[in-house]
Every structure is written in C-alpha cells, then in structure tokens.
C-alpha cells in the first residue's frame, strides 16, 4: 500500500524537474522584445570594412550588439546593461570559410564555426567602461532612456 504514494510522489518530482528544465532552457535563447535603434559604419578600432550596432530592448535589460566585418571574418560584441549599469560584456569572433562561400539567405560569407573565439570582458576595467560609453554615444539619448 505504501508503494502507490511513493510512485505518485516520484512521478510528481520527476515532472517538476522536467518542467523546470524546459522553462530554464527556453529563457537562454531570449529574443529581443524590440530593436530600438540601428547605427552603421561607426568609427571603431580595429578598422572594419563595414560595421553595425543595434540597441535591443529585452524584458529586464537592454543590449547593444556591435558587429564588425573584416576581410577574413567578423566579430560581434554584446554589451548588456540597465540604465547606465553595465552587467556583462563579451565578444564572439569567427573566421570566414576559406573558399568564400556565401550564405544564400544573408548574402554574407559563411562563418567557420570551428574558429569561434569567445572573450569575456572585465566590466570593472576602466578601458572596458570607456569602450561601452563610447559605443553608447552613437545612440540617441531618448532611445537609451528606454533602457532605464
């Protein structure tokens, strides 16, 4: 008789863990609620062929994503913040596939996924804070105010 309640408790426990895992996994691929502004070809170092920076609003924060396109690859910096408080920043860099294939959808060179390099920025360093402030300066202040 005690076997049945044990099975019921076990089933509830396993189901709860499964639901928690599913809800946690879906939040990791969070999509922006809206793109607030896009700026292109800003003054940046190192020099890029072209570049674009987008200011995106999420539920509880904003993110600037800056992508620079080089001869041999591309790099995207992501700057997550709320108000004037930077919470995290990192970059992902890829080289293009050597034979210069183009993606038919994006009309951009294909990225070689094996060359991915990720760098996490130390947001306490003054030069990182300076780079963030400089990047923010390319966006309209009224639009940035929506990230408060």
- Digitized pLDDT (tens) for each residue of the chain, 148 residues in all: 555 554 444 444 444 444 434 444 444 456 768 999 999 988 876 677 788 999 999 999 999 999 998 888 899 999 999 999 999 999 999 998 887 677 777 777 888 889 899 999 999 999 999 999 999 999 999 999 999 8
- Does residue 143 contact residue 38 with C-beta atoms inside 8 Å? no
- Does residue 71 contact residue 63 with C-beta atoms inside 8 Å? no
Q: What is the pLDDT of residues 40-63, one digit of tens each?
A: 988 876 677 788 999 999 999 999
Please report, to the nearest 10 degrees, the dihedral formed by the alpha carbons of residues 75, 59, 30, 80 taken in order: 30
CA–CA separation, 80 and 57 (whole Å): 10
């Amino acid at each position: 008789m005690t076997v049945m309640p044990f099975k019921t408790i076990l089933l509830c426990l396993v189901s709860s863990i499964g639901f928690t895992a599913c809800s946690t996994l879906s939040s990791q691929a969070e999509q922006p609620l809206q793109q607030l502004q896009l700026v292109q070809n800003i003054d940046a170092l190192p020099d890029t062929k072209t570049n674009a920076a987008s200011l995106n609003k999420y539920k509880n924060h904003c993110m600037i994503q800056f992508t620079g396109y080089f001869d041999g690859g591309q790099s995207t910096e992501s700057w997550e913040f709320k108000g004037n408080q930077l919470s995290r920043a990192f970059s992902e860099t890829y080289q293009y596939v050597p034979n210069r294939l183009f993606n038919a959808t994006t009309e951009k060179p294909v990225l070689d996924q094996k060359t991915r390099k990720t760098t996490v920025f130390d947001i306490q360093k003054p030069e990182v804070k300076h780079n963030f402030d400089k990047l923010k300066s390319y966006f309209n202040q009224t639009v940035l105010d929506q990230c408060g």
